[in-house]
Chains A and B, each alone.
Chain A
Amino acid sequence: MSTIQDFSGYQPTWCPGCGDWGIGIAIKSALIQLGLSPSSLFVAFGIGCSGNMNDFLNAYAMHGLHGRSIPNAIGMKLANHKMTTLVVAGDGDCYGEGGNHFLHACRGNHDITVIVHDNRVYGLTTGQSAPTAQKGYVSKSTPLGIIEESVDPLSLAITQGASFVAQAFAGDAIHMSQMIKKAIEHKGFSLVNILQPCVTFNKVNTYPYYMKRVYKIDDNHDKESITAAVQKAREVFEEKYPLGVLYEVHRPAYHEQLIQLELTNSLKDRVRFIDFKPLTQYFK
């Protein structure tokens, strides 16, 4: 049985009060509750404040390039599908630079859990606006206010084939941990979008801002209905933020549909292929 200590690497370098602290703890406690250990876990980290969790969370991890953690995770999962696979990324990372990968990973229903630190700003590069920034948001890169509408990651995921979509708030560690745990337990592509105040660079979407606007999704919500789920997701444009599972359906994951993968034996562990005859006959 692993402990928080087993998963804890170096002392984090996040700003005091940053939502990343809470997310870090929520991830670790979900992993412990699931009985996982650093040796049974793949994590693909992006680049950004979120990705810097790489030094603070012990696992078999790739701390790759900005935007590319999802394909890294897909590759790891296909090579060894017996390992639990997480992506820890930021909003710019996952919805901007890596937007194409995000969209296609949803389609593929790859069995990975994508945890996005959504602070609506670029923290590590000192405060430019992110794809999830609200229209009109003033930042160093958009001093006259951002012209684009914000990305709605929840609707995007739901409509493109993700089979589990949830939202959490960095100010509610217990709920956040529950969502992460559910997402990991789900077979198929799962997204947990975490609303996370950036205390240093985002003076709009603060803890008090969210405290006033978040609410828990009640039991009457139909999680299997795309329409109901998208309706909830679109509330972001009215500055209402539902927390909980918006959408959850069960479909076979990508690796479960690959005929070349054996259930009990991973691609890494299977025997070497040596029977060339059937392949070379075509060349005669």
Chain B
Amino acid sequence: MKTFVWKIGGEAGFGIMTTGLAFSKIASRLGYRIFDYIEYPSLIRGGHNTYEVVVSDERVGSSPGKIDFLVCLNKQTFDFNKDRLSENSFVIYDKDEFSPETTAILINVPFKEILSSLKGQLIMKNTIALGASLALLGTDLTIFNELITQQFGRKGTDVVSFNEQFAEKGFSYVLTHYNKNIQHLLSPLNSESQLVVTGNEAFSLGAIISDCRMYVAYPMTPSSSVLTTLAAWQKNSKMVVRHAEDEISVINTALGGSFAGVRSAVGTSGGGYALMVESVSYAGIAEIPIVIFISQRPGPATGMPTWTEQGDLLFTVFSGHGEFPKIVLAPGDMEEMITLSAEAFNLADMYQVPVIILSDMFLSESHANIKESFVTNFNKSFKINRGKTIVKSDNKKYKRYETSSDGISPRLIPGAEGAFYQANSYEHLEDGHTTELSEERVKQVTKRALKMQTYLQTDFKTPTVYGDLEGADIVFVSWGSNKGVILDVQKKLLLNTKTAYIHFTQIFPLKKEDVTPLLKKEKRYILIENNSEAQFGKLLQMELGISIPETILRFDGRAISQEDIINKVNSK
């Protein structure tokens, strides 16, 4: 496995994100697997942005730690990252701005001089830097120029060629002055077409594959790019994408759409979800299907908006007053995000419950590449299942909340002739009318709870185990976005330590008889979570009566690192 890390940093507002993504796309088009990770403050200008790309000839899901190529558009980038450099690392910088003190290999590129000679704006510094990087990595500018055309093409060929010359200057400067340093790390590989997507974009794809027709949201970092992605697609997709006045309106609009018969979803982060939960409870009692996408960030309150955490797990599981069923799913990578999101709409329809997709900033805003054929094939094979949704009722007196052996009642799409009913937030009779009768209340509570028994028997999926559980010395237990780093660490440890990883994506409810045997072996179990309270550990204790005392918990706004896990493994 050949893996290297390229990282660029600079002042917010100077195109770090665009340049980083261009680098990811170039590596992806050349046939490499990539995983990238961004850091940015909750500001538009003035802070420090970084974009780190891990490039490998095999699948990757986290940074190995060491930086091989550090592109410093300012001194801060160097200061923040110098501890991650080695003697073999390269630092691309401009000696007119600062002089790095390091044993790493220095590649001085005169950004300022090139900018002024071509009369460029400050923002074009990153174009020079990317050109220089590509030269150092032994590839050419073909793909970068294509991306420039993609970005500026509609502004005319003058704008395209104006931008291209900055890339060319950086590129040729390295060729001329640092020819002996050129590394041949980006030679093209044979690979089928790949797509570079974030978790939020993967959710958007999943929603469209599943025929979601209404998406309603209020912008909230780090979930906002679902809204902007689906909004950008609406001309093609014909999805109704509504940016409503607040999160309460968001979910109630979507519930209206779902009641009327279209698959509907909302997206937000923890704070926005806090505003929605009364309505989640309404969806619970009125049995209205809804898919809720939550991208977590560190709370409480406004917390750290642009950083990552898995701190809303228990809040999500227990969200909403009263007792009602819901399903919580947590994808671990882009492929799982696409498939589970599409599946979520089926489950919402089949069980007539809220289904929550739990993401976090790390998964939502990082890019990874997936095979294009994965999306095409999944789209072909995916079957829409609307469960007991019906479009007409033969029954003279249609009963929306009729009791049944699986707890699920036929749900009539409004508009059907000769029928009518209400989706009632009050406790109701089988026909939907309000009731306070003891036996009717018990009947409906029991019916709703029964739906989750049916779900556990029919659609619960036992967590995937990576590695050999029987032969392992150490068993990692985790959920959601920690998958990438854990799989990477398993590979690293392969020669010394036998590990297995139990990866939970179906977080709640848990099927006791399926999950318990996995956690009851004579092994060293380590629970890994991106929060301070071991929330999933608490859930396991509550639902299964199992406690995992050894934990890796990180709650500084950063994702779990390979080092965090390796240090813990080696601590005994």
Q: Which residues of A contact B (CB under 8 A)?
A: 9-10, 38-42, 44-45, 47, 52, 54-55, 58-65, 67-68, 70-80, 82-83, 100-101, 103-104, 258-261, 267-268, 270, 272-276, 278-280, 283-284
The answer to whether B256 and A279 have CB atoms under 8 Å apart is no
Using a CB-CB cutoff of 8 Å, which residues 140-186 of chain B contact chain A?
A: none
CB distance from B247 to the nearest CB of A (A): 11
Residues of A within 8 A of B264 (CB): 75, 79
- Bound: A41/B416 CA distance, A: 11
| Partner among A39, A74, A280 whose Cβ is within 8 Å of the Cβ of B416 | A39
Q: Is B258 an interface residue (CB 8 A)?
A: yes
Inter-subunit contact B256/A76 (CB<8 Å): yes
A9-B196 in contact (CB<8A): no
Using A38-B420, A76-B260 as known contacts, say yes or no to A279 and B237 having CB atoms under 8 A apart.
yes
Tell me the bound Cα distance from A73 to B239 in angstroms. 18
| In the complex with contacts A58-B420, A258-B240, A276-B379 CB distance below 8 A | yes
Q: A54-B424, A63-B423, A280-B195 are in contact. Are A78 and B257 (CB under 8 A)?
A: yes
How many whole Å from B413's CB to the nearest CB in chain A?
7
Given A39-B416, A74-B253, A260-B234: A273 touches B196 (CB 8 Å cut-off): no
A64 to B249, CA, bound (A): 12
Instruction: Give the segment of B109-117, B278-286, B457-465, B469-477 that binds chain A.
Output: B278-286
Chain B residues with CB under 8 A of A259 = 234-235
| In the complex, chain A residues whose CB is within 8 Å of the CB of B424 | 54, 63
Q: Which residues from chain A contact B46 at a C-beta distance below 8 Å?
A: none
Closest residue of chain B to A69 (Cβ to Cβ) is: B252
CB pair B236 A275 closer than 8 Å: yes
A-B CB proximity, top 7 nearest: A75-B256, A60-B414, A79-B260, A71-B252, A283-B195, A61-B422, A75-B257
Q: Is the CB–CB distance between B193 and A75 below 8 Å?
A: no
CA of A67 to CA of B262, assembled, Å = 23
Interface centre among A9, A52, A65 (most CB of B within 10 A): A65
Q: Is the CB of A104 within 8 A of B249?
A: yes
Asked whether, in the complex, the Cβ of B262 is within 8 Å of the Cβ of A60, the reply is: no
B244 adjacent to chain A (CB < 8 Å): yes
**Which of A47, A71, A101: most chain B Cβ within 10 A?**
A71
CB distance from A154 to the nearest CB of B (A): 21
Q: Are B418 and A78 in contact (CB under 8 A)?
A: no
CB of A79 within 8 A of CB of B262, answer yes
**A276–B376 touching, CB < 8 Å:** yes
A58 to chain B, nearest CB (A): 5
Sample (8) of A-B pairs whose CB atoms are under 8 Å apart:
A39-B419, A60-B414, A64-B425, A71-B248, A71-B249, A260-B234, A279-B205, A283-B201
Contact residues in A for B28 (Cβ distance below 8 Å):
284
A contact residues around B379 at 8 Å (CB): 274, 276
Q: Which residue of B lies closest to A79 (CB)?
A: B260
Query: A268 vs B375: C-alpha distance in the bound complex, in angstroms?
Result: 25
Cβ–Cβ < 8 Å partners of A104 in chain B: 244-245, 249
**Closest residue of chain A to B379, judged by CB?**
A276
Q: Which of B235, B253, B384, B425 contacts A71 (CB 8 A)?
A: B253
Which of A42, A261, A274 contacts B414 (CB under 8 A)? A42
Closest to A62 in B: B423
A1 to B244, CA, bound (A): 37
B233 within 8 A of A: yes
Partner of A60, one of B193, B239, B257, B415: B415
Check if A64 sits within 8 Å of B252, measured CB to CB: yes
Which residue of the partner chain, among B234, B253, B433, contacts A78 with CB atoms under 8 Å? Answer: B253
Interface membership of B211, Cβ < 8 A:
yes
Whether A55 lies near B434 (C-beta < 8 A) is yes
Note all chain A residues with C-beta closer than 8 A to B197: 283
- Of B233, B246, B254, B255, the residue contacting A279 (CB under 8 A) is B233
**A101 touches which one: B214, B249, B422 (CB < 8 A)?**
B249
Complex: A44 Cα to B209 Cα, angstroms: 30
Do B426 and A273 touch (CB < 8 A)? no
Q: Is the CB of B279 within 8 A of A75?
A: no
Distance A241 CA – B375 CA, assembled complex (angstroms):
62
Q: Is B101 an interface residue when CB atoms closer than 8 A count as contact?
A: no
Assess whether A59 is in contact with B239, with CB atoms less than 8 Å apart: no
Checking A38, A45, A72, A280 against B253 with a beta-carbon cut-off of 8 angstroms, the contacting residue is A72
B25 at the interface (CB under 8 A from A): yes
A39-B417, A60-B420, A104-B249 are known contacts. Are A65 and B278 too (CB-CB below 8 A)?
yes
- What's the minimum C-beta distance from B258 to chain A, rounded to whole angstroms? 7
- Give the one of A10, A44, A59, A101 with max B CB within 10 A: A101
Q: Which chain B residues lie closer than 8 Å to A272 at the CB level? A: 211, 384
A61 and B420 form a contact (CB under 8 A): yes
Asked whether B205 lies within 8 Å of A80 as measured between CB atoms, the reply is no
Let me know if B248 and A68 touch, CB within 8 A. Answer: yes
A45: chain B residues at CB < 8 Å are 422
Q: Let me know if B195 and A65 touch, CB within 8 A.
A: no
Which residues of chain A have C-beta atoms less than 8 A from B256's C-beta?
A: 44, 62, 71-79
Interface residues of B in 353-380 (CB under 8 A from A): 372, 375-376, 379
Q: Is the CB of A273 within 8 A of B211?
A: yes
Residue of A nearest to B434 (CB): A55
Complex interface: chain B residues within 8 A of A41 (CB): 420
**Given that A80-B260, A104-B245 are known contacts, is A64 also in contact with B282, CB under 8 Å in the complex?**
yes
Q: When the two chains form their complex, are residues B422 and A79 in contact, meaning their CB atoms are under 8 A apart? A: no
User: How many angstroms from the CA of A283 to the CA of B225 in the assembled complex?
Assistant: 14
Distance (whole angstroms) from the CB of A137 to the closest CB of chain B: 28
**A274 nearest in chain B by CB position:** B379
Residues of A within 8 A of B279 (CB): 64-65, 68
CB distance from A234 to the nearest CB of B (A): 26
Tell me the complex Cα distance, A270–B213, Å.
Answer: 10
How many angstroms from the CA of A47 to the CA of B282 in the assembled complex?
A: 12
CB distance from A161 to the nearest CB of B (A): 13
Known: A60-B421, A75-B259, A80-B260. A283 touches B214 (CB 8 A): no
Is B33 engaged at the interface, CB distance under 8 Å to the other chain?
no
| Bound: A128/B554 CA distance, A | 49
B208 touches A (CB below 8 Å) = yes
**Docked complex: B172-230 residues within 8 A CB-CB of A:** 193-197, 201, 205, 208-209, 211, 213-214, 216
